[in-house]
Amino acid sequence: MDCRRVSICPMRSMTELLAGYAAYHRDRRNIALHFVGIPLIVLALEILLSRPALTIGAIPVTPAAIVSVIAAVYYLRLDLRLGLTMAALLALGAWLGMIVAAQARAVWLGFGIGLFLIGWAIQFVGHIYEGRKPAFLDDVLGLIIGPLFVVAEASFLLGLRSDLKDALTGAYPRR
């Protein structure tokens, strides 16, 4: 069984996951559009999952908070530094989601659905430039690796994680 193509295999390394995702994202225009589309999709999901809220003690617990914690634990298992960044971004998104969810239902749904549709439209335009279908169509883990890919790419632009950048660039050079 080829574990690179099957999502239920034992946990792959972050480098393997990002290399697989990077194979679908070599065009710089596509990557640039992912810097916009993926955060919009993640924020939209956090907004839409911010209702209902159950208060435990003084802490509001929403489906968005639960999903964000699970995702953050997954990212932290892959890599401490990028995982901490992802955890902070997910916490920020969950907080923003709660603010939007506290608004009228039309505002909550308008922002959530609107950002979701805009984010996916941007993603698909990027893949027109790429000339290749999105990664998640071959491996559903692409849906959770996409946000990590954006954070990794941002770290590369900041001159961080050159070890990871070299491993990914060697596997899949950019166009």
Domains of the chain, residue spans: 14-164
Q: What is the pLDDT along the chain (175 residues), one digit of tens a residue?
A: 455 454 445 578 899 999 889 888 889 999 999 999 999 999 999 999 999 888 888 888 999 999 999 999 999 999 999 999 999 999 999 999 999 999 999 999 999 999 999 999 999 999 999 988 888 888 888 899 999 999 999 999 999 999 998 888 766 555 5
The candidate with the shortest Cα–Cα distance to 146, out of 36, 6, 8, is 36
- The pTM assigned to this predicted structure is 0.88
- Across-strand partners of 59? 56
pLDDT recorded at residue 113: 98
Would you state the structure tokens that stand for residue 76, as one six-digit string? 């932290």
**145: helix, strand or coil:** helix
pLDDT recorded at residue 138: 85
With beta carbons less than 8 A apart as the criterion, state whether 151 and 89 touch.
Answer: yes
Name the helix (H) or strand (E) containing 56.
Answer: strand 54-56
pLDDT recorded at residue 58: 85
- Cβ-proximal residues to 92 (8 Å cutoff; 6+ apart), any chain: none
